[in-house]
Chains A and B, each alone.
Chain A
């Protein structure tokens, strides 16, 4: 009897020397966590590849190419995976290989009706099998040609390559879904992402997670200036990032009073800078308490007034932790592309958040100097503000 299984290939992980075991173990753990809602599955490694099989009969995610897509997409979202294929696993002789290859190609053509050309590639691990690889290729190729009138062989540039593997079990598969590559989350220290409702910060979180970094996030909520919908949007974005980064705590800081205090007591052209300095300090405190070793922001040089080099320098000064800015040299278009790829864009561009633009001055200072910030903060009790942000009404949502 044949069953569908999923074959996942690892990338950078396999280049690790003595640490490879730790990276692979983390990757396997992350896969198990990511696939927890796909029924009972077994996940194991063999020949430097990962195999995912259903442990129960009738799991719909393994039935057809179409229904396996959701499961395969989930696998591609686990960092460390380079590509994923749906394979057909069975036992038997060359006749069984022919029939299963035929069945597999039938499904494949149903999902991809434009395919016209193919070739067969074979790996034979089971050296007791009576035919060698070229003979198997020839036999299976002939069988497919015979059973699918519209297909022809093209060994140079085929629409699909039908892989046949003869091991303890036999496998046929074709086609790949590309993974998000990177390193398994959990192989680096944890970071605290400053998450807004915009396009950039979810991408920044995704990018750091792709280097193995687990992520917590902090959001600054200013009800009634930002609405409950805006907060829900941030929760939704955190969920999207967590598809890639795994478990996440989202900290929601009640920022209204702090912001009103700033508006009253500091010059408006410095408002954004002062606000960002306070936000970073609050984020750092929360990060320290929760074992995060760095802060992550979605800043991109020159994108807005508070992201000039001078402004970044002045906001940077207030914290000791490293601030990672994976988007700093990226063009907006490139960020938008990633945002779309990870499925965050549609959520990011929902309109709710923008009422907080009420706190942005018409002409903010783009090149603030030290004297400016000293002047701007002289009537503010920054320490008390930070304390208030960290302690009063701090909400934690487990994503």
Chain B
């Protein structure tokens, strides 16, 4: 099996599985809120997990909240920010290429009377900074962006955006979706200039069911889930130590492997860019995209057909766009980047992880050659 769909989810790594297994079979199943010894053991381990995440992400433990997933983190941050800051402005600035978990929350805000302004993105997937400058006004309370786009790997010019923010709306907050950048780009929350950020474990060889939300000390956000007041009241519900510990392990493992992985995956990426372009494919990911994501359109193959052809070779990728001639749906991300329908209808996403190898990339290219030989159809 060749798994090139790591932006969708990843296989949990051995260390993560071991941590969960140890926690569940050992004495770590107590309620961290209990006053007895069993509870204390869990509570201590929970603090350790939090501390480990905070250290790796360079922030204070009190600035992190364990959530159930990236989506919950995004929902909480965006909605909770406005709930907690009624006197702030009522305008959000974002792009139309955000993940659905942000876009849907923004839609909800719009229905509630907030103003959402969308900055155009260019062919490289990056927001038009001049337009951003023109959209900011005194009502701007939140900037909502994605560090790395999940479909194209396009990297946000974060430093420039933070500069603009400091200059034009210093009081506004910045929310950054870091789900695809975690473990792939350096993340230093203290110095990045963001106020809120979301993370997910299962994109970095952790497991599904746990994510993180960063809220910088001093930034007010209302909780999404209320009850017993766990996690400083920011997310009630009994904390899961195995999930927290697995998140910490996933983050640490990813960070330790990051530099090497980046180098290896860069080689895979440039090899595939070269070989696939030579075979007539169009690369949609910008030149300077994160190498972990490669969005590419194969000539004469609709996205879904290519996905199923590769399936025959036990190669797994993603279509991001639903192939449907009736609903005429293609990727909204590619559409907003101004990519023609004829290209986006044929686009697929390859996404890599530290466990992928050059041999796999070579097998992939071989499979593509065979697929063209066997399955290419040109109906006039």
Contacts and interface: CB of A to CB of B under 8 A. Distances in A.
Interface stretch (A28-36, A202-210, A349-357): A349-357
Interface stretch (A18-26, A144-152, A289-297, A359-367): A359-367
A233 interface: no
B73 to A, nearest CB: 30
B379 A359 contact: yes
Nearest to A263: B377
Given A260-B377, A358-B379, A223 B326 contact: no
B323 interface: yes
Interface residues on B, range: 10 to 19
A227 B308 contact: yes
Contact of A355 (B311, B323, B378, B379): B323
B327 A361 contact: no
A228 B380 CA distance: 26
A58 interface: no
B325 interface: yes
A225 B377 contact: yes
Interface residues on A, range: 20 to 34
Contact of A359 (B309, B326, B377): B377
Q: Which of B322, B329, B377 has the largest number of chain A CB atoms within 10 A?
A: B377
Interface in A260-310: 260, 263, 268, 271
A49 to B, nearest CB: 46
B302 interface: yes
Given A224-B309, A227-B304, A355-B302, A268 B380 contact: yes
B308 A223 contact: yes
Contacts of A357: 325
Contacts of A352: 304
B312 A358 contact: no
A361 B322 CA distance: 22
B355 interface: no
B324 interface: yes
Contacts of B379: 263, 268, 271, 358-362
Interface string B247-285: 000000000000000000000000000000000000000
Interface in B349-380: 375, 377-380
B305 interface: yes
Q: Which of A224, A228, A271 has the largest number of chain B CB atoms within 10 A?
A: A224
Contacts of B322: 351
A362 B221 CA distance: 55
B305 A355 contact: yes
A33 to B, nearest CB: 36
A335 to B, nearest CB: 16
Given A225-B377, A351-B326, A351-B327, A358 B302 contact: yes
Interface string A338-377: 0000000000010110110111111000000000000000
Nearest to B374: A260
B305 A354 contact: no
A217 to B, nearest CB: 22
A362 B378 CA distance: 11
A87 to B, nearest CB: 46
Given A352-B304, A362-B380, 5 more contacts: A224-B305, A225-B308, A227-B304, A351-B329, A354-B326
Interface of A: 223-225, 227-228, 260, 263, 268, 271, 349, 351-352, 354-355, 357-362
29 contacts: A224-B308, A224-B309, A224-B311, A224-B312, A225-B305, A225-B308, A225-B377, A260-B375, A263-B379, A268-B380, A271-B379, A349-B326, A351-B322, A351-B323, A351-B327, A351-B329, A354-B323, A354-B324, A354-B326, A355-B302, A355-B304, A355-B305, A358-B302, A358-B305, A359-B377, A359-B379, A361-B380, A362-B379, A362-B380
